[in-house]
Amino acid sequence: MKNITYKQRIIINYIHKYLHKPKLKMKPVMRSIISLIQNNKKISLNQFNSIIKFIEREKEFKSQTRSQITKYFDEIIKNNEGKIINEYRTTNLEELFS
């Protein structure tokens, strides 16, 4: 549990840093992410993907790939269980002719 709050703090600190950028157009999105995290809720993968381009430039994460960064923060990202991942289903010929 302590690990999750540490990771939440990291994200919040970085987002606060980005919010001070004068020409940033994503401020409402970032504020909503902070709000969710402060309320101990998970953020969606889309929300995380919107900030990863900033996080990957940080000294702490520069040597990591996007997938490694995402995996590091996976505890604060919503699990997309219940969604159909594989839309295509394999069939055999018997199913086609019956």
Query: 77 - beta bridge partners?
Result: 43
What pLDDT is attached to residue 88?
43
Bridge partners of residue 43, in order along the sequence: 77
Q: Is residue 86 domain-resident? A: no
Name the stretches of the chain with pLDDT < 70.
1-4, 80-98
93 located within any domain: no
> Has residue 72 been placed in a domain?
yes
CB 68 within 8 A of CB 81: no
pLDDT at 4: 64
Number of domains composing the chain: 1
* pLDDT score, position 5: 84
Question: Tens digits of per-residue pLDDT, 36-55?
Answer: 999 999 999 999 999 999 99
d(CA 84, CA 96): 22
Domain that holds residue 52: 2-76
Contact 4, 75 (CB under 8 A): yes
Question: Is residue 27 in a domain?
Answer: yes
Q: Assess if residue 41 is contained within a domain.
A: yes
Angle at 2 between CA 72 and CA 46, to 5 degrees: 35
Burial of 90 (0-12, 13-18, 19+ CB in 10 A): exposed
Answer whether residue 13 is part of any domain: yes
Residue 84 lies in a domain: no
Q: What is the pLDDT of residue 92?
A: 60
What pLDDT is recorded for position 86? 41
